[in-house]
Amino acid sequence: MARPAPGTLHGPIGSIVLRKLGCVDYETVWNAMRAFNGARTTDTDDEIWLVEHEPVYTLGLNCKNEKIVGPNSIPVINTDRGGQITYHGPGQVIAYVLVDLKRRSMGVKQLVGAMEQSVIDLLAEYAIDAMRREDAPGVYVNGAKIAALGLRVKQGRSYHGLALNVQMDLSPFSRIDPCGYPGLATTQLNDLGVSLDVSAAGERLVNHLVATLGYNGARLDQNQPEALAHA
């Protein structure tokens, strides 16, 4: 049985809505998440949005004088999530986690722990020993980062989420200090011998997120979020 994340709620609490958005530019999804959270009520279902992004560097609220080495043609966006600088690109699956923490009586640390545990449990399926670090949120294999986390919570409701490297060009990470840590190596599922594409990896990731967050299942909604449709 998978080891529960610290603070994870144990009883099933209903299902969470799953939306698969495909490849969408970063700012469009970011604006849609903020609109979704701004419009949701106490009765609005929690949701997970699975996406890929075109190449983009994003800078979190903790960034201080972060630099990109060498000439750069990749867009750079200042965003409102926690954390520092990271890279997103094709071949990376991103799960944006839109949860009413107040309704769940769940703290931010509990949510982070559950998200990290979902990746650890996914990797354990393939006999890969992954770990979290107290000083640097995310998931690591042999010291190399395979998943990054960044969240924003407003009025007790979360947005942003986690990014799992699957089968991507990792070279843009070498031009930054990932998440603000100089020399931090990165890795991905394919380099660890796990032959999953982004779609399959996303399915497995959602299964583990549902379990660690304490939901009893995910309900696929094939419609675009209303906030995204009007973005």
Q: Based on the structure, what is the number of domains in the chain?
A: 1
In a domain, 42, yes or no: yes
Instruction: Kindly report the pTM of this predicted structure.
Output: 0.91
In a domain, 58, yes or no: yes
- pLDDT for 116 equals 97
Here the CATH number for the domain that contains residue 171 is 3.30.930.10
Distance (Å, whole) CA 88 – CA 26: 9
* Edge-first strand listing for the sheet containing 56-59: 76-78, 56-59, 85-88
Contact present, 215 and 13 (Cβ < 8 Å): yes
Mean pLDDT of 177-183: 76
Distance (Å, whole) CA 50 – CA 203: 9
Give per-residue pLDDT as tens, 49-91. 999 999 999 998 887 767 788 878 999 999 999 888 899 999 9
Residue 179 appears among annotated catalytic residues = yes
In a domain, 180, yes or no: yes
Mean pLDDT of 193-217: 96
In a domain, 230, yes or no: no
- 117 pLDDT above the threshold of 70: yes
Residue 229: pLDDT band (50, 70, 90) is low
Identity of the residue numbered 19: R
Closest C-alpha among 133, 135, 136, 126 to residue 166: 126
In a domain, 7, yes or no: no
In a domain, 9, yes or no: no
Catalytic residue selected from 119, 141, 163, 179? 179
Residue 231: pLDDT band (50, 70, 90) is low
The domain in which residue 218 lies consists of 15-225
In a domain, 69, yes or no: yes
In a domain, 10, yes or no: no
Q: For residue 195, count CB atoms less than 10 angstroms from its CB and return exposed for 0-12, middle for 13-18, buried for 19 or more.
A: exposed
